[in-house]
Amino acid sequence: MAKEINIERFYPYPIEKVWNAITTSDALSDWLMPNDFKLEIGHEFTFKTKPQPSFDGIVKCKVIDFEAPIRLSYTWQGGPLKKPTTVSFELKSKANGTVLYFRHSGFEGFINQYIVRFLLGSGWKNLLFKKIKLHLDK
């Protein structure tokens, strides 16, 4: 099951600047979410945003690994993600800027849980109900 998010971006800025933007708490607060990030393996931190329906607005994270200024990964757990997933950033220096390879992976547990909750919870009943209704409306 290869369900993951991969995004490649080019930023016309030197690698150190991009690295600082993804590894300092202030910068992350600016472009991602308020947080108490620290560049320290094993450091546990949270991202906090406005609560939404079915999401309390808190993402729990833990720094897994980093190597300045080329790679950083941390766990990502919150909302419907009851098991930690992994977010990773890899930077490559180019003549006129930096390429970022972003990856969010580890959704397998989530996919099974989510789908089963959907199927065994109200999801299937609603769908069945809709189907029956469609049938009756014919």
Partner 1 sequence: MNRDPFAALADPTRRAIIDLLAQQALNINQISDHFNTVSRQAVTKQLKYLEDSGLVNIEKNGREKYCYLALDNLEEVNNWLRKYEKFWNKNLDKLEDYLKKREGK
DSSP code at position 10: E
**Minimum CB–partner distance for residue 65 and partner 1 (Å):** 19
**Minimum CB–partner distance for residue 31 and partner 1 (Å):** 4
Q: Which is nearer to partner 1, 3 or 38 (CB)?
A: 3
- Asked if residue 92 lies in contact with residue 99, where contact means CB atoms within 8 angstroms, the answer is yes
CA distance 8 to 92: 11
* 51 token code pair: 């609560």
**Minimum CB–partner distance for residue 113 and partner 1 (Å):** 7
Q: Which is nearer to partner 1, 7 or 95 (CB)?
A: 7
Strands (E), the chain: 5-11, 44-48, 58-67, 71-78, 81-94, 97-105
Q: Which is nearer to partner 1, 42 or 97 (CB)?
A: 97
Q: Which residue ranges make up the site for partner 1 (CB under 8 A)?
A: 1, 3, 5, 7, 9, 11, 13, 17-18, 21-22, 27, 30-32, 80, 100, 102, 104, 107, 111-116, 118-120, 123-124, 127-128, 131
Q: Which is nearer to partner 1, 56 or 112 (CB)?
A: 112
- Asked if residue 49 lies in contact with residue 57, where contact means CB atoms within 8 angstroms, the answer is yes
**Minimum CB–partner distance for residue 103 and partner 1 (Å):** 10
| Peptide bond between residue 14 and the one before it cis (omega within 30 degrees of 0) | no
- What is the radius of gyration, based on Cα positions, of the chain? 19
